[in-house]
Amino acid sequence: MVLTEKHKELIERIGVFHEHKGMQPLVGRIIGLLLVHDEGEVSFDEIVEQLGVSKSAVSNALTFLQAKGRCVYSTRPGDRKRYFALKVSDWREDFEKELQNIAEIQKFIDEVLEVRTEKNPEFNCRMRDFSNFLCFFKQEIPALFERFKKQQA
């Protein structure tokens, strides 16, 4: 597949978006490439060529993506190459994980509330509010997906 300037520019922007989420630059750009690529499946070699980086860098980045469960490869009969693809099918689980992750802060809030004295009751009160909200939020997540399903039908 030949990438246009528009493709390349979009890949770069998707790359920096993921960099801001803490991933290393190449990992983000590989996600971009796998998203934009027509076939959805891209060989190791093509990743190296399209992004103009070394094999070692691609190898490490793909190992990382597979470890994170964001990427898989398949093979084809009579072809030794690996074709890498994003696990787009898992977007529900992935998104749910992200939501659970931002709610992780609740654990810390609760620990903080345990060690705090009553010197600043207003502060403590707001923290308790926040903790209660996070608890409520976590409970609401499954219902959110349910409502989406209904709305789709």
Under the rule (CB under 8 A), what is the footprint of its own copies? 4, 6-7, 10, 13-14, 17, 20-22, 35-36, 38-40, 88-89, 91-92, 95, 98-99, 102, 104-105, 108-109, 111-112, 115-117, 119-120, 123, 126-127, 129-130, 132-133, 136-137, 140, 144, 147-148, 151-152
Nearer to DNA (CB atom), residue 63 or residue 100: 63
| Residue 25 interacting partner from DNA, its own copies, none (CB closer than 5 to 8 Å by kind) | DNA
Structure tokens, 22: 């803490």
Its sign, for the CA torsion 93, 97, 100, 102, is negative
Name the one residue in this structure whose structure tokens are 């074709």: 83
Of 3, 53, 85, 103, the residue at the interface with DNA (CB under 7 A) is: 53
Buried b (16+ CB within 10 A) or exposed e, 91-128: eeeeeeeeeeeeeeebeeeeeeeeeeeeeeeeeeeebe
Residue 65: name the closest of 26, 91, 97 by CA: 26
| List of residues contacting DNA (CB under 7 A) | 24-27, 43-45, 52-63, 78-82
